[in-house]
Chain A
Amino acid sequence: KAGVTQTPRYLIKTRGQQVTLSCSPISGHRSVSWYQQTPGQGLQFLFEYFSETQRNKGNFPGRFSGRQFSNSRSEMNVSTLELGDSALYLCASSIRQGLNTEAFFGQGTRLTVV
């Protein structure tokens, strides 16, 4: 079974530009969550999508948005990029197994804003 796939792996953008990141979850997983990881900050929750609907949202500005398609693939968009948006963006797909929810992460997209 293929794991979570994120594309691209690396990206360099200029301040003010916008960027779209893609995540393909594990087959059968309907929940996709996005996280931002910066040095010393750990993983900060961005949002979660389930069945094409945003189900949870973290404390990020409206420049960060996402969507999910009918095949569960998800995209994350960041508009008007700022230097502080440089980070590793991780996508996790999950499925509820009984009472537990195992979340599996992709390799991440390393975004550098210059």
Chain B
Amino acid sequence: GESVGLHLPTLSVQEGDNSIINCAYSNSASDYFIWYKQESGKGPQFIIDIRSNMDKRQGQRVTVLLNKTVKHLSLQIAATQPGDSAVYFCAEMPTGNQFYFGTGTSLTVIP
């Protein structure tokens, strides 16, 4: 099966600081990636996506960086807020409509 892994299972940041969550993927054929945020008791919520023909995409306070050479994906959250505390998953789509998810990184924002 596919392998999507995260470098750090937990991350704690001070409110107002920037957060960086990393993800490694294994399938070089993957051409579409999504970051999801999952709060306790809720389903994963779409944050931002990126296609393999891009190396950077920005949203509101979030930026996704894709390095295809080393098969690495990162999510940057600017000015992290307490409401950003959640588990973050990266997902890759190598073929069809099937996503492969990493195990997740738990982000804790310290007020």
Total CB contacts across the A-B interface at under 8 A:
64
With contacts A43-B89, A55-B96 taken as known, whether A102 is within 8 angstroms of B46 at the C-beta atoms is: yes
Tell me if A56 and B46 are in contact (CB < 8 A): no
Tell me if A99 and B99 are in contact (CB < 8 A): no
Distance between Cα atoms of A53 and B102 in the complex (Å) = 27
Q: Does A28 interact with chain B (Cβ within 8 Å)?
A: no
Contact of B97 among A31, A35, A104, A107 (CB under 8 A): A31
Contact of A56 among B41, B98, B102 (CB under 8 A): B98
Contacts of A55 in B (CB 8 A): 96-97
Q: Which of A75-103 contact B (CB under 8 A)?
A: 90, 94, 99-103
Seen from chain A, the residues whose Cβ lies within 8 Å of a Cβ on chain B are: 4, 6, 31, 33, 35, 40-45, 48, 50, 55-56, 58-59, 90, 94, 99-108
- Given contacts A48-B96, A105-B43, could you give 5 more A-B pairs where the C-beta distance is less than 8 Å? A42-B104, A45-B99, A100-B49, A107-B42, A107-B43
